[in-house]
């Protein structure tokens, strides 16, 4: 009889631990693996690094925004 009670307590403890682990893993925010495969370039005005495909270029220089490109080329 005492062995049976001990077995039930162990099974309950395992169930509680499993439930906590599942709850903890589901409550964490899912971070998507967003990798940029392109080259990083630097804005000629402010020095910000950004992916080359998102940058604006003019005469071989890269800019992070239209205002930086327009202000630097005038």
Place of tokens 């009670």: 5
Structure confidence at residue 22 (pLDDT) = 85
Distances (CA, A) of 44 to 27, 38, 40, 59, 65: 42, 18, 13, 11, 11
- Give the mean pLDDT of 54-74: 88
**Domain chopping of the chain, boundaries:** 40-73
Structure confidence at residue 2 (pLDDT) = 78
**pLDDT, tens only, 2-51:** 789 999 999 999 999 999 988 877 666 666 656 656 899 999 999 999 99
Structure confidence at residue 23 (pLDDT) = 82
Structure confidence at residue 66 (pLDDT) = 93
* Alpha carbon of residue 25 to chain centroid: 16
pTM as predicted: 0.49
Q: Which two tokens stand for residue 53?
A: 């495909």
């Amino acid at each position: 009889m005492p062995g049976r009670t001990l077995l039930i307590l162990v099974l309950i403890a395992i169930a509680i631990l499993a439930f906590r682990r599942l709850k903890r893993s589901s409550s964490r925010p899912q971070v998507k693996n967003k990798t940029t495969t392109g080259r990083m370039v630097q804005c000629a005005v402010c020095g910000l690094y950004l992916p080359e495909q998102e940058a604006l270029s003019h005469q071989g220089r890269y800019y992070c925004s239209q205002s930086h490109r327009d202000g630097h080329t005038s």
